[in-house]
Structure 1
Amino acid sequence: MRYGRSDDEWDTLAEEGRRFLVEQAELKRMTTYTEFNATIARRTGLRAFDFDAESERAALGDLLGQIAEGSFRETGGLLISALVQYLSSNDAGTGFYALARAKGLPVPGNAADRQLFWAGHVGALHKHYARPVARRHSV
């Protein structure tokens, strides 16, 4: 059990969460914690995380960390959780920066440079997952 959820539920949320983040990256989009939460709940039929409870916010952060860890090699050392931002802010959550540091990535110390690091990460994820553009043949 993790955060009151069975291992099967947790695995289902992680799989669907990863699938949703890859879709967002392919579309060169980002998402919010709110949209991510609502989407994985709707797609899985499992209860959404309750943001009013600190333990539930922590659970969602751990889920995103697991998803990012699981795709770290596939992305060439990028953290797909960078695509999730706060609803009213143009920045990643503290968990993104903590995981980036834990993975040995060069997270800057000041806020402005940290935000540039995050934005670069987002751009690199969009590029990594970009779908090939169909070529038109002229006649």
Structure 2
Amino acid sequence: MTGYGRSDDEWDLLTEAGLELLIEQARLGAPTTYTDFDAALRRRTGLRGFDFDQESERAAIGRLLGLIVERDYETTGLLISALVRYLNANDAGPGFYALAVQRGLLPPKPSALAKEKFWIDQVNALHAYYGSSRGNG
């Protein structure tokens, strides 16, 4: 799993901490931004953050979100990365939609309306799942 200048241990730590962060956001009923997510990861793990000015680092955080989804999906059947959005934007990034298409949750080349509905449905379902007693343990 080594890649993007990070060790397997770093990826594992980032994945675990990232999932915990997103579960907390789901319980709060609030999304987060890539910037805030990165800052919280740095605080919790002590690892270097992601440099969003570099394309490779943007790809690396996308990979991290994919790893987090993989870890959570079997439990929830949802894409928990829906809770991470661009600063000053109202939906998830393109990687979220690409993952949804890859998993067969959205058709190839979905319309903007289909993407928006899917994202909203995922966010609402995550809040419902983690806000319930079964998601609190």
TM-score, reference length from structure 2: 0.91
Q: Which residue identity lines up with residue 96 of structure 1 in the other structure? A: F
Aligned-pair identity in percent equals 58
Quote the offset at 1:112 in angstroms.
2.2
Measured in 2, the distance between the counterparts of 1:89 and 1:49 equals 19
Quote the offset at 1:73 in angstroms.
1.2
Paired positions, count: 131
Measured in 2, the distance between the counterparts of 1:13 and 1:29 equals 21
Quote the offset at 1:47 in angstroms.
0.5
**In structure 2, what is the equivalent of residue 104 of structure 1?**
104
Measured in 2, the distance between the counterparts of 1:80 and 1:34 equals 17
| Helix, strand or coil at the partner of 2:90 | coil
**In structure 1, what is the equivalent of residue 62 of structure 2?**
61
| Helix, strand or coil at the partner of 1:49 | coil
**In structure 2, what is the equivalent of residue 94 of structure 1?**
94
**In structure 2, what is the equivalent of residue 45 of structure 1?**
46
Q: Deviations over 1:16-39 (max 9, x none)?
A: 000000000011111000011110
Whichever of the two has the greater Rg, that structure is 1
Is 1:2 the counterpart of 2:15 in the alignment? Answer: no
Structure 1 stretch 99-108 or stretch 2-11: which is displaced more? Answer: 99-108
Q: Which residue identity lines up with residue 110 of structure 1 in the other structure? A: S
Quote the offset at 1:131 in angstroms.
4.2
Q: Deviations over 1:47-81 (max 9, x none)?
A: 00001111001000000011011111111x21000
Measured in 2, the distance between the counterparts of 1:131 and 1:118 equals 20
Quote the offset at 1:114 in angstroms.
1.1
**In structure 2, what is the equivalent of residue 84 of structure 1?**
84
**In structure 2, what is the equivalent of residue 34 of structure 1?**
35
Measured in 1, the distance between the counterparts of 2:72 and 2:31 equals 17
Measured in 1, the distance between the counterparts of 2:39 and 2:51 equals 10
TM-score, reference length from structure 1: 0.90
Structure 2 counterparts to residues 5-20 of structure 1, below 5 A: 5-20=6-21
**In structure 2, what is the equivalent of residue 22 of structure 1?**
23
Quote the offset at 1:10 in angstroms.
1.1
**In structure 2, what is the equivalent of residue 113 of structure 1?**
114
Aligned residues: CA RMSD: 1.2
Unpaired runs of at least 5, structure 2:
none
